[in-house]
């Protein structure tokens, strides 16, 4: 049993349904918009800071299959948005779990945005283009 230690988990172990939500910030945005009363907006260093008062309730509204809401003890979401362009600068999602066997776990996700709408070309390395899935099929 690990106590009070940070443990880096393999990303493949993250709940797949929850991972889909993390990757789809539009879904999170829509739920925030639907729960605007749970949002605090402030300004800092020329940016807007958007924070949730109760991200757990927003997660509940999102109805994510496989996410055991009763185990979540705390959840928060924060976006930093450029005041002039309204483009995101970064975001943080922190979720803490009280597990059934008395231990606690947490997920902290920090996303930094850069070069938005400025990507000109994506070049995949040869090894990626030739990569195969475990069963031998090409990707």
Going by pLDDT thresholds of 50, 70 and 90, the confidence category of residue 49 is very high
pLDDT in tens, 77-111: 899 999 999 988 999 988 888 887 778 888 888 88
- What pLDDT does residue 83 have? 94
Cα Rg for the chain, rounded, in angstroms?
A: 18
Domain locations along the chain: 11-129
User: pTM of the full predicted structure?
Assistant: 0.62
b/e sequence 6-42, b meaning 16+ C-beta within 10 Å: eeeeeeeeeeeebeebeeeeeebeebbeebeebbeee
């Amino acid at each position: 049993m690990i106590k009070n230690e940070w443990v880096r988990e393999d990303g493949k172990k993250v709940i797949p349904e929850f991972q889909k939500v993390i990757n789809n910030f539009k879904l999170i945005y829509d739920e925030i918009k639907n729960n605007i009363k749970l949002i605090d907006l402030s300004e800092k260093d020329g940016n807007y800071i958007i924070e949730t008062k109760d991200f757990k309730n927003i997660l509940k509204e999102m109805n994510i299959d496989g996410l055991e809401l009763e185990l979540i003890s705390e959840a928060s979401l924060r976006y930093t948005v450029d005041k002039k362009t309204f483009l995101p600068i970064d975001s943080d999602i922190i979720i803490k779990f009280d597990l059934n066997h008395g231990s606690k776990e947490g997920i902290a996700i920090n996303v930094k945005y850069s070069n938005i709408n400025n990507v000109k070309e994506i070049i995949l390395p040869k090894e990626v283009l030739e990569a195969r899935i475990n069963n031998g099929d090409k990707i």
